[in-house]
Structure 1
């Protein structure tokens, strides 16, 4: 006989797989209560627990798999959201860093040094000594004021744009520096010197051209009459390209050895007071226009102009340069 809790056709656990003859002919002589009907729609497992029919188990498995997929999808979505957030934050951080680097490299506008209102320092002579022409400091964002040469028609007005790491500038200085100084001292020439920095990338990360030119600008600001002596010393100690060059402490020592005694120059060098102005002056020289020149802009160093005419001769031949200077002065007389 069938137990009361068994559905027709089901098998008790201990007889699983054993055929039951004539099971199909068995009929129940009593009605089944509703509670029994609900209960009897489930098979029993080995522990007497109700087990869903095969169809229901498949549906339950599908539902369970669906729920698992949905839960996994939620986890994946959370992970992707987190990753996107992390990547987004990373990109924002990178963008902020790039922006910071750009702002720092450009630098805020800064006033220039005194006695360099033209972006250069003008040196003249009285027959016995060389003096700097005094000018007020260039205000932040102010345009440079070109030197008025209307009263300088009887002299060779030499303008030089140099980078203190440039080996060709060093060659020109070694070849012509002494004779130019003698012309200026005698009052036969003026020298307008423009330090710029175009070779920072060739100084092993030390930005030596900027630091050296800043040192020169510090001297122009505080002790301008010693500018030419410091300029000569900087070229005499010129480092090779792709080296770090002199440290700020060594630059300070160098200007002192050249005769600079003003104590404010040392802090000006270490603080790099005029580095931002120098960057702006360099950009102006490279972009142009250059005042009183037959060229639009500086395209390399040294750029040497005599009465507005570009010198293109040999840098290592003093006679060639001297002849060029004489040729530019003669038409003006």
Structure 2
């Protein structure tokens, strides 16, 4: 009879130890395989994450760095020239400055009967605000009557002084948008930007507020200008115009470059007087115009003829 026991001999202690070692070895090998699989998965996940972040950063850079494009129409000199007659201010129309093209300086009236006023301004610059608020009315009167022309160059020196919103650049771009599409409203829009000027280091006006000021200035094609403001359409042009102002000679003057804002010229002569006294600026305009008139009417002395 069978008693149900196994006929296999019982393993010895050495065999048991060897079996245990083999089992442990197999477990270690299996653990190493799992670790290798996990490492591959983790590395793959990291690579995917890095590629996703790189794609996101690339997209942001692509969207923030605008390719070179044409500048605004009516600002071929990097500024807009406003003239007037019979109480009406009229912009001088010029084609858009092509990407990479050199600006064409305005040919000033050198008759001595007209004051050629040129300003380089930053819409966040508090001193620019002081000058404009002080003198906007008298300049408007001079231009409307034909006694003066006004050429405004918006630049962006204080782009990093608005808590990260780049207000200086956005405001200059908005001015370029108006010059491009509704130049007849530029003088009023320019004045409104200074009347509503935010403080330096503040976030500045947002795009909705800039568009509201454009509407208040009575621009035509408001929807086009609103899109231009939202797209920062002339960002690259503003940056290039600012660089040119800071590094190149100022046309029709003896200045080697712009060193700060506001820079105000009358018939090529720089105004360095009070920013808060309209009478002082008007006096300077009359003096500069008078000097130009004297230069234009003076005749050289005849050259003596040698005696035979």
Using structure 1 for the length normalisation, give the TM-score.
0.70
1-structure distance, mates of 2:237, 2:284: 31
Change (3 A) 1:304 1:58: farther
Does the CA-based 8 Å contact 1:286-1:297 persist in structure 2? no
* Corresponding position of 2:88: 129
Aligned length: 284
* Corresponding position of 1:224: 183
* Corresponding position of 2:263: 303
Change (3 A) 1:113 1:283: closer
- What are the ranges of 5 or more consecutive residues in structure 1 without an aligned counterpart? 6-35, 45-50
1:281 maps to 2:241: no
2-structure distance, mates of 1:318, 1:279: 35
Mapping of residues 203-222 of structure 1, within 5 Å: 203=162, 207-222=166-181
Task: Give the secondary-structure state (helix, strand or coil) at the position aligned to 1:272.
Answer: helix
Task: Give the C-alpha shift of residue 174 in structure 1.
Answer: 1.1
Within the candidate set 109, 112, 116, 2:75 is matched to: 116
* Corresponding position of 1:265: 222
Instruction: Select the structure of larger CA radius of gyration.
Output: 1
Task: Give the C-alpha shift of residue 121 in structure 1.
Answer: 0.5
* Corresponding position of 1:82: 41
* Corresponding position of 1:183: 142
Task: Give the secondary-structure state (helix, strand or coil) at the position aligned to 1:255.
Answer: helix
Using structure 2 for the length normalisation, give the TM-score.
0.74
Change (3 A) 1:206 1:100: same
Change (3 A) 1:306 1:234: same
Higher deviation after alignment, 298-307 or 130-139: 298-307
1:316 maps to 2:276: yes
User: C-alpha root-mean-square deviation of aligned residues, in Å?
Assistant: 3.4
2-structure distance, mates of 1:226, 1:308: 26
Does the CA-based 8 Å contact 1:115-1:132 persist in structure 2? yes
Task: Give the secondary-structure state (helix, strand or coil) at the position aligned to 1:180.
Answer: helix
Does the CA-based 8 Å contact 2:71-2:97 persist in structure 1? yes
Which one scores higher on RCO, CA 8 angstroms, separation ≥ 6? Answer: 2
Post-superposition Cα deviations, 1:92-124, rounded to whole Å, max 9, x if no partner, equal 222222222222222133333321122211112
